[in-house]
Structure 1
Amino acid sequence: MTLDLNFIQSLIGLQDLEVTSANVIDGIVYIYAESKHNFAVCPKCKKITQTVHDSRRQPYKHLPVWDKETIIILTKKRYVCSCDPEHPFDESFSFIRRYQRITTPYEKYIFSLMLKSTVKNAHEITGISEATCQSIYNFYANSILENRNPESLRLLGIDDIATKKGHNYDTVIYNHETGNVVAVITGRKKEDVISYLHTIPMDVREGIQAVSMDMSRGYCHSVLECFPNAKPVIDRFHISQQLHKNVDDARKHIQNHIKKNSKKNEVFKIRWALLKNVEDLKHDEALRLILSCTKYEKIYELHYLKEEFREFFNITSKEDAIAFHEYYKDFVYEYDIPELKIFCKTIDNWMPYILNYYDFPISNGPTEGNNHKIKNIKRRAYGYRNHNNFELRVKMEFECA
């Protein structure tokens, strides 16, 4: 089956290329072509030469034509220049990257398939090997990220994320003002984080004013050591999380004491009723909680103290926050609940960084949401063995979101 060459030349859309013949064989479109030019520019002396040393044909996969696999059989000449007769050079084409056997329009199509999908999906759609698809993704993703204007870093968020839960963890740093990922660091130990932060130019580090985080001493020490003008801000969500953990520990202690007296049913299924906000309780949860609080004073006191601390999150000044904490500690020591004493001691230890919230009202809420996106990226690919591929994918998906 012979095809109209002028039509084919327009269809494939490649400049400086002349189609000499085309055929469809076994469902594959073969297009034979060569350069329109009979000269080349010497890469050494930058002069034009027309002396052809030899030529050869090489196949290049191109975008499908009429939904059929398309291969361009390109005649490539080697030229020789008088400046170096012993070393001929290949003529270059704008639509082919060096050492590649796929045209750049087809590479960009493959890259677009992988932007919100996986390497495996691109392989299944195009028939290109997974290794080649990954190489194409890395090339174009790096090109995009390298040409992106650097973001100004002022407010950051830092948190860990499990690459293999319970075994391996990475540290993710976010730009609070844009939501983009600044870095994905292998490991979450202090030395891992500091090692990366020292690679950031000093003028950038000096411009960072605050970093939100959980109650991690490793992260806190890393920020204080590497960012001379930054204030660590303890995230309010993690303060609430710590309170709920200590309240739950106290509940277990009280329930275990009650169960020893064979009264298990009286405090059965009150965990979530105790931890939820009062206004969020369902009817049956509220009923169980009221019955337990009526029967057991310690449960009532525990619930009262948990609800009382919620007022802390409505405070708008450092002075009021300090005063409220002293007031709250008095209640905790009066009711003598050991687990809440531990909570108060934790707050005492972190109080300077908790108070930084009133200077920089940022939290790890966006960070936790971004962590969920990263987990979805990881799950979609069933995990990553190569950390560089993982970091590149994360940075690209956040930029494209």
Structure 2
Amino acid sequence: MSDLSITPYFPFARVVPVDQQVIEVETRVQSVITLAPAEGSWPICSVCGQESRRLHIYGTRQVRDLGLAHARVELVVPNRKLRCAGCQTIRTEGHDFLAPYRRSTLRFEQYVAGLCRHMSIKQVADHVGLDWHAVKEIDKRRLQREVGTPCYDGLQLLAVDEVAIHKGHTYLTTVLDLETGRIVWVGKGRTEATLASFFAELTPEQRKSIEAVASDMASGFRTAVEKACPHAAQVYDLFHVVAKYSREVVDVVRLEEAKKQDEAGRKLIKGSRYLLLKNAPNLLGSQKKALKELLAANQNLNTVYVLKDQLKRIWEYKHPAWARKALDQWCALAHASGIPALAKFAKSLCRHEKGIVNHCRYPIHTGRLEGINNKIKVIKRLAYGFRDDAYFILKIKGAFPGTLQPNPR
């Protein structure tokens, strides 16, 4: 050891550095630092923490630690076996800087876990020189400490939606606390049973505190909420209703009208999908002109387009009675149009009238959750997919902790 001691870099209790060897391994420098028990220090049990002076055998183990400058640091740590009076058996000594059976120090794991917040596992593994699986387990333990313990207290306004995670119609259902921005729960699937399993984890008091749930008009989600929280208001947001209208009305009528045209007219209508779906303020000058010509030439498409804009205005009402009246008027116009797809959609809206009108009392929606779902897809792409669904769910919760403090460790 030189006069410039490295001891301050290893402020560990009960051990001190006694030797350092610097070696070159391929393209990197490795520093192997040997730690020895401090003078007068006896080993403590790794299970009960009781000190023992009855040694069974003396040994060492090599673990990874934070680097020094450009050198990768390996610590040779005392690993004595002791006869523990408290446990009445032979135990391995414990260290406050090293978890039992780990191959790296706690501060090194903290460093690796911090990198995993911003980088993919592969990038972190390449950066620190660890195996991919070792990095994943470090990050998984960190997430388990921070968000692994569910916290369902104080839930009042929720949003529920599904996100596709694999090919073949594999989905996750996500539940968002709209007041804190926290992902409360994530479950595999998108059925009634999926959401019911979330409510099953809540106590009766926690379920009773839920005032409103925003979701799409999927029957599975609706039934699960009705059974678990019959007092809660279900709110169907504008985004999902308009998206459903676009699929079931605009696209259907557009294709039906295209079949009635000659080749030139068919080509024009088939290429007009995004003109009909886009919001008018987002259209370019040339697109506005093309849309105007299209609507003037086809009455059914004009009707469908106009009613789409009128449908959006229902969500602008603040009083339930006015919103209900506007919805009834819209449905009457849809039925009077004589367009089967439009009449069918209006019939569906009438069945979901209560959930649409509930937005007046609870102006909530799933827009924030839709944005979160897009970020979830980015997390998945960054990692090139996740083979461990439990770890993926923890990553999602860790990425959206909201304004609440992390769960106690």
- 5+ long unaligned stretches in structure 2: 404-409
**What is the DSSP-based 3-state SS (H/G/I as helix, E as strand, rest coil) of the residue aligned with 1:62?**
strand
Q: Paired residue for 1:21? A: 19
Q: Paired residue for 2:407? A: none
Partners in 1 of 2:229 and 2:152 — Cα distance? Answer: 18
Q: Is the 8 A contact 1:21 1:32 kept in 2?
A: yes
Partners in 1 of 2:380 and 2:105 — Cα distance? Answer: 30
Partners in 1 of 2:353 and 2:231 — Cα distance? Answer: 19
**What is the DSSP-based 3-state SS (H/G/I as helix, E as strand, rest coil) of the residue aligned with 1:134?**
helix
Q: TM-score, normalised by structure 1?
A: 0.91
Q: Is the 8 A contact 1:207 1:229 kept in 2?
A: no
Residue 29 of structure 1 and its aligned partner are, at CA, apart by: 0.8
Q: Which one scores higher on RCO, CA 8 angstroms, separation ≥ 6?
A: 2
Q: Paired residue for 2:347? A: 345
Residue 354 of structure 1 and its aligned partner are, at CA, apart by: 1.2
**What is the DSSP-based 3-state SS (H/G/I as helix, E as strand, rest coil) of the residue aligned with 2:161?**
strand
Q: Paired residue for 1:285? A: 287
Change (3 A) 1:63 1:158: same
Q: Paired residue for 1:247? A: 250
Partners in 2 of 1:47 and 1:370 — Cα distance? Answer: 48
Residue 337 of structure 1 and its aligned partner are, at CA, apart by: 1.5
Q: TM-score, normalised by structure 2?
A: 0.89
Residue 259 of structure 1 and its aligned partner are, at CA, apart by: 3.0
Structure 2 matches for 1:120-159, cutoff 5 A? 120-145=122-147, 152-159=154-161
Q: Is the 8 A contact 2:46 2:93 kept in 1?
A: no
Residue 324 of structure 1 and its aligned partner are, at CA, apart by: 1.5
**What is the DSSP-based 3-state SS (H/G/I as helix, E as strand, rest coil) of the residue aligned with 1:169?**
strand
Q: Paired residue for 1:188? A: 190
Change (3 A) 1:310 1:15: same
Structure 2 matches for 1:215-226, cutoff 5 A? 215-226=217-228
Q: Tell me the amino acid that sits aligned with residue 286 of structure 1.
A: K
Partners in 1 of 2:331 and 2:12 — Cα distance? Answer: 75
Q: Tell me the amino acid that sits aligned with residue 380 of structure 2.
A: K
Q: Tell me the amino acid that sits aligned with residue 382 of structure 1.
A: Y
Change (3 A) 1:135 1:309: closer
Q: Is the 8 A contact 2:14 2:41 kept in 1?
A: no
Residue 191 of structure 1 and its aligned partner are, at CA, apart by: 1.7
Deviates more, 1:185-194 or 1:299-308: 299-308
Residue 51 of structure 1 and its aligned partner are, at CA, apart by: 3.0
Residue 112 of structure 1 and its aligned partner are, at CA, apart by: 0.9
Q: Tell me the amino acid that sits aligned with residue 204 of structure 2.
A: M
Q: Is the 8 A contact 1:76 1:90 kept in 2?
A: yes
Q: 2:210 aligns with which of 184, 208, 211?
A: 208
Aligned residues: 397
Q: Paired residue for 1:296? A: 298
Residue 54 of structure 1 and its aligned partner are, at CA, apart by: 2.3
**What is the DSSP-based 3-state SS (H/G/I as helix, E as strand, rest coil) of the residue aligned with 2:365?**
coil
**Deviation sequence 1:173-205 (CA, Å, 0-9, x none):** 111111111111011111222133212222211
Q: Is the 8 A contact 2:331 2:347 kept in 1?
A: no
**Deviation sequence 1:358-395 (CA, Å, 0-9, x none):** 11110010110111111111111111111110111111
1:72 aligns with 2:72: no
Partners in 1 of 2:251 and 2:257 — Cα distance? Answer: 10
Q: Identical aligned pairs, as a percentage?
A: 23
**Deviation sequence 1:60-94 (CA, Å, 0-9, x none):** 11111121111111233333356777x33322110
Change (3 A) 1:32 1:195: same
Partners in 2 of 1:281 and 1:48 — Cα distance? Answer: 76
Residue 56 of structure 1 and its aligned partner are, at CA, apart by: 1.0
Q: Paired residue for 2:317? A: 315
Residue 151 of structure 1 and its aligned partner are, at CA, apart by: 5.1
- 5+ long unaligned stretches in structure 1: none
Q: Is the 8 A contact 1:5 1:21 kept in 2?
A: no
Partners in 1 of 2:68 and 2:47 — Cα distance? Answer: 38
Deviates more, 1:235-244 or 1:369-378: 235-244
Residue 32 of structure 1 and its aligned partner are, at CA, apart by: 1.1
Q: Is the 8 A contact 1:30 1:73 kept in 2?
A: yes
